[in-house]
Amino acid sequence: MNAALLLERALHLALLLALPPLLPGVVNRVKAIVAGRSGPGLLQGYLDLAKLLRKGAVYSRTTTWIFRAGPVVGLAAVLAAGLLLPLAGRTALLSFPGDVIAFAALLGLSRFFTVLAALDTGSAFEGMGASREASFSAFAEPVLFLVLATLCVAAGAAGFGEVLEPVGTAAAALRHPVLLVAAAALFAVLLAENARIPVDDPNTHLELTMIHEVMVLDHGGPDLAFIQYGAAVKLFLFSALLAHLVLPFPAGPAGAAVLVLGVLGAAVAVGLVESAMARLRMGRVPQFLVGAGALAALALAVLLTRGR
Amino acid sequence: MGQLADLLLLLVVVLGLQALATSRIQGAVRAVALQGAALSLLPFALGHALGLGAMVAIAAITFALKAVLIPRLLTRAIRTAGVVHEAEPFVSLHVSVMLGAALVGAAFWLGGALELPWPAPSRLVVPSALATLFLGLLVTVSRRKAVSQVVGYLMLENGIFVFGQALAHQVPFVVELGILLDVLVGVFVMGIAIHHISREFDHIDVDALSTLRD
Amino acid sequence: MSLLAAAALLLLAAALAPVLLARRDAAAFRVGTLLTIAACAAGFAGATAALRDGLNVEATFDWPLPIGAVRAGLDPLSAFFLVVLFLVAGLAALHGLAAHPARGGRAGGRAAAFYALTVLAMAGVVAARDGVLFLAAWELMTVASYFLVAHEDERPEARRAGMTYLIFSHAGAALLFVLFALLARHGGGFGFDAVRAAGPLAPALAGTLFGLALAGFGGKAALFPLHLWAPDAYPEAPPHAAALLSGAVSKMGIYGLLRALDLLGPPEGWWGTALVAVGGATAVTGALHAFAQRDLKRLVAYSSVENLGVVALGLGVGVLGRAHGAPLVAWLGFAGALLHVLNHGLVKSLLLLLAGDVADATGTRALDRLGALARRMPVTGGAFLLGALALAGLPPLNVFVSEWLLLSGALRGAATLPAEAAAAAVVALALLALAGGLAAAAFVKAYGVGFLGAPRSTAPLAARDPGGLRQGAVLALAGVCLTLGLAPETAASLPAAAAALAAGLSAPPAAALEPVAALSRGVLLLVLLGAALAAARALLLRRREVRAGATWGCGYEAPTARMQYTAASFPAPALGTFEGLLARNVVGAGPEGYFPAAARREERLVDTAGERFVVPLARRFLQALARVRVLQGGRLQLYLLYVFATLVLLLAWQLVLSP
């Protein structure tokens, strides 16, 4: 392995591990600024994690090993997914045709164990969050796949390595304007999967409005640290994917810089959306996701009929 | 010899008509028994070359079964069930005799048209076989009492026996004997069944079996 | 080969032994089941050897019946299905050996005999190389498995389920008779080699035959809309019989489809689209209904329907690839479908056996009365978790590998095939993703509501692990699933030759198996990451204070276990969108007023889509038949008269009217 490749790999790992907790900080800061407050610091996420890692834990007597395993498996799955997405340079740490599907499956694994851990507490609140999360993710999955399929159809290949490269080299948006439509659909999935308004409200703790927050009510200490970190990594991954769709990516380390900018830009966009919109009624969330799916399907239809 | 064969065959057909015409069940049984006796003599009359000993043995077995043993089983079943008359058959006796005559005519018409791969021992064998067959079926279809059904079954088998005589080149007598054994067992079983039915229901009206449907 | 012959003989002995031992039922059951297990072991060894050696032979056996000789043979496709059959049948029989007597099993000899007959018939179906043997074995399989479904015939639900199963199976078999008759006419004989040698079929005829095959085999494979029998039949059969039915018998429909595709030659594009449509509808319907069910066994049964749909989707992708000359897409689709057949057979057997164990231990099938079983039945719970993870299609388990192959094929198809086929591939992707999401939700519900939380009634309080042989069989199945999941390369190599055969290739494409190696590394990384994080967490908590407490109740003073989410309320947010497929009939209303008195509300799930297809058809059919029913007088003499009249008419016609 030559030095450049080694540098790329190290950069990939560093970005994956170190950058994510910055994003919730950015989102909160943007929301605060829009609301006229000064808000928490940008590095608050890191400080929260450090605090939680120093704490002990209280476990409910109703819970089993699932509750203790949930955060671990959730984080492991999300980090593994992060190894598949090209973050610095052309290829990811682990790249093969069909890794797109593994990416989605790993996110599913993370969600599965989070929901199970919520049901393990035997509380009606966590169960409510679990029910909503399980139901709505069933709608979000096809939309994610449609967006990924749009990428693959546009590039004529089936792995992140080949798919994101030609899309990223040139001014992608100009060559495939239809990809902007796909990017809009992806943004909707991002909001849904990361429990952001308009699907969920991360700041509230009212049972009428919680999905993700309520699932983790009973976790504390290092478990909660793992969960929050995992959520940040998930947001980071989706933002990276969005950035790849929208921005042109040059070769080498400059690509990493563009990625960081794109990710931060996505976080700002999320913050703006959260400030501007209210949360949807629970019954409207499937419609929201189906609408996103329709957008992705539209992009695909255009790509398929117009030729690539 | 040919004339004796024709005589026996015609006798068989006439006895079949007799079984149709009588309303007394014992009379029908007797007609079928006489049919069996006539049939046991038929192989001699048709002149099959099988060795005298074999022929005598077969004739004796046929006579014993068809003319003696089976009618005795039936008579015992009749006595157990206590029936004497076939009351109200589906088709009245006059009509059934006329139908029987018509069927005999049809049998002769069809039998004439049936071509066997080798010449039959007598012109009458195939038509009378078909006639006995049809008469047996008519008895089975038109009677109410279970014993009459058995009589019809026996006439059916007699018709097959006669048909077998026409094919006697090809069908070894072992098969004939096997069929006879089947008949014996069948009648045995039917006798037992009739006994139990009459004991359970106090009658043997097959007509009461009217729920063989959805 | 000799091993397989030995297996066949042992199965025959297993079918006959209970007849000889009819008086001692328990001994009959034990002997029959042991013989069956021995036969399956021999058969499994023989089949894996045949698969490994790439055997491809055919032989003719002269038969004293008028149909003449019958042909049987073994090729990679048959060998693969034999592997699936013997593995599933053997492990399920092992479980049944211990479970059946423990449940107070009656008529055990009969159960063992029909089990062995079903396995033997399936082996016959898979090995048949001419239409007559195929159909004879198919009919035997249907009849023998009917007796398995209706085994507990003292219960009206079991009788009804058996009758439904029989009707659907025979309707399909009627279509299969037509199919094989037409093929025989084309080939000038019933043998498959004759059909293949007779040259290509006219497109119209090929299309008709494909439609017949899809309808006939699709009924057995529980494809939409002919899936209605499965949710009734699988829960009513004894658990080990249900495992055989779901794991092997329904796969015979898939085998039939593959064999028909093999006989019909190069496929048309619309065949793939049809398979994708049917498979997708089946998958989504099955997953949706599984998500909505409250009965554990019915949930697992609907999941079977979903997975059979996934297999059909894979077949569709494979056919699309083959029709458009994309060998990699074709191979991926078929390999995914075939591996899914194996994986699903294993996992579904595991879950059906476990569902039986849970029902026996708690005395109920209703999820809403269970809860906290993981603590009381740790082995069962662990195995169920593995099964649930598997059926949700998640790594590191085996179903993920087969779904990954399938989805790779669809994705590659979407990216590289011409427009219409690519659109079909995209539809396949979307439907598969939807079904996958719903299935994951269904199994989260099954495990979460049934095994986690607090007990919702008194039923789970006395539950314990069954232990012994039952546990052994279950652990063996779970172990195989986990092993296949952790070693994707091995798993993908199993159907490689069979998939190549189905895709019309001579060998698997070179580019097909490399990504699997990378996937293996990924799975390994996942496991390592998990272990590392668990170690980190343990390290962090070692020096911290860890206490036990009650679940935080958000300020409520008296939370009860009945406040937990139930199997009925869990899917509620999603079900509103799917009213067209799944309706909820509600009778009565909930409590009303501020101080409500007793209230009663009944909710029933209705398979609207399925019934909208089948019920009107059945009704029209019965109306037409009612007119014919007049012929049934009910009298014996009338029927004899029919015979008589037919005889006379036939004689007259043959002898006089048309000599």
pLDDT higher than threshold 80 for residue C1: no
Cβ atoms of C438 and C284 within 8 Å: the answer is yes
Type of residue at B186 = G
Q: Looking at residue C122, what is its pLDDT?
A: 94
Query: How many whole angstroms from its chain centre is CA C650?
Result: 47
Bridge-based pairing state of the strands A57-60 and C546-549:
parallel
In the predicted model, what is the mean pLDDT of residues C65-70?
70
C276-290 tens-digit pLDDT: 999 999 999 999 999
Least confident of A272-276, C91-95, C199-203, C270-274: C199-203
Chain B residues inside the 8 Å CB shell of C633: 210, 213
- B104: closest chain C residue by CA: C648
For residue A171, what pLDDT band results from cuts at 50, 70 and 90?
very low
Nearest CB to A135: which of C389, C441, C518?
A: C441
C521 to chain A: nearest residue by CA?
A: A94
Q: How confident is the model over C451-509, as pLDDT tens digits?
A: 998 888 888 888 888 888 888 999 999 999 999 999 998 888 889 888 888 888 888 88
Q: HSE (CB half, 13 Å, CA atoms) of C223?
A: 29
Rounded percentage of chain A residues whose pLDDT exceeds 90: 44
CA atoms in the 13 A half-sphere facing the CB of A176 = 31
Number of CB pairs, chain B paired with chain C, less than 8 A apart? 50
At residue C249, the pLDDT reads: 94
Number of domains in chain A: 1
Using one digit for the tens of pLDDT, what is the confidence trace for B132-182? 999 999 998 888 888 888 889 899 989 988 887 777 655 566 667 777 777
**Which residues in chain C have their CB less than 8 angstroms from residue B138's CB?**
644
Residue C577 gets which letter from DSSP?
G
**Alpha-carbon gap, residue C553 to A125, rounded angstroms:** 8
CB contact under 8 A, C430 and A123: no
pTM exceeds 0.90 for this model: no
Q: Which of A202-211, C457-466, C609-618 has the highest mean pLDDT?
A: C457-466
**CB-based contact (8 Å) between C537 and chain A?**
yes
Name chain C contacts of A63, Cβ cutoff 8 Å: 551
**CB contact (8 A) between residue A62 and residue C453:** yes
Residue B17's closest CA among B92, B104, B91? B104
Query: How do strand C601-606 and strand C583-588 relate by DSSP bridges?
Result: antiparallel
A-chain residues within 8 Å CB-CB of C545?
Answer: 56-57
- Give the Cβ contact number of residue C579 at 10 Å: 10
Sorted by sequence, the CB contacts under 8 Å of residue B192 that are 6+ apart come out as none
pLDDT of residue A9: 82
Pairing of strands C583-588, C57-61: unpaired
- Mean confidence (pLDDT) of chain C: 88
Are C352 and C246 contacting, i.e. CB atoms less than 8 angstroms apart?
Answer: yes
Handedness of CA C626, C627, C630, C631 (dihedral sign): negative
Contact A137 C400 (CB under 8 A): no
Which pLDDT band holds residue A170 (cuts at 50, 70, 90)? very low
- The per-residue b/e assignment along C456-468, b for 16 or more CB within 10 angstroms, e otherwise, is beebbeebebbee
Closest residue in B to C640 (Cα–Cα): B141
State whether residue C647 sits within 8 Å of chain B by CB.
yes
Helix axes B125-142, B93-113, angle to 10 degrees: 150
A-contacting residues in C 490-529 (Cβ below 8 Å): 511, 514-515, 518-519, 521-522, 525-526, 529
Decide if A64 touches C, using CB distance below 8 A.
Answer: yes
Domain ranges of chain B: 2-208
Looking at residues C30-38, what average pLDDT do you find?
89
User: Are C537 and A134 a contacting pair at CB < 8 A?
Assistant: no
Please write the tens of the pLDDT for every residue from A131-165: 999 999 999 999 999 999 888 888 777 777 777 76
Residues C519-575 pLDDT 10s: 998 999 999 999 999 999 999 888 888 888 888 777 777 778 888 888 888 998 888
Please give the pLDDT value at position C65. Answer: 65
CB-based contact B86:B148 (threshold 8 Å):
yes
* CA–CA min distance C97, chain A (Å): 32
Which domain does A140 fall in, by range? 3-34+41-306
Burial of C441 (0-12, 13-18, 19+ CB in 10 A): buried
| Residue in A292, A249, A247, A278 with CA at minimum distance from that of residue A265 | A247
Q: Give the model's pLDDT for residue C188.
A: 82
Instruction: Look at the block and give the residue holding tokens 């009359």.
Output: B45
Distance CA C414, CA C421 (A): 7
User: Is B209 close to C647, i.e. CB distance below 8 A?
Assistant: no
The answer to whether C548 contacts A125, with C-beta atoms less than 8 Å apart, is no
Q: Is the ipTM of this complex over 0.85?
A: yes
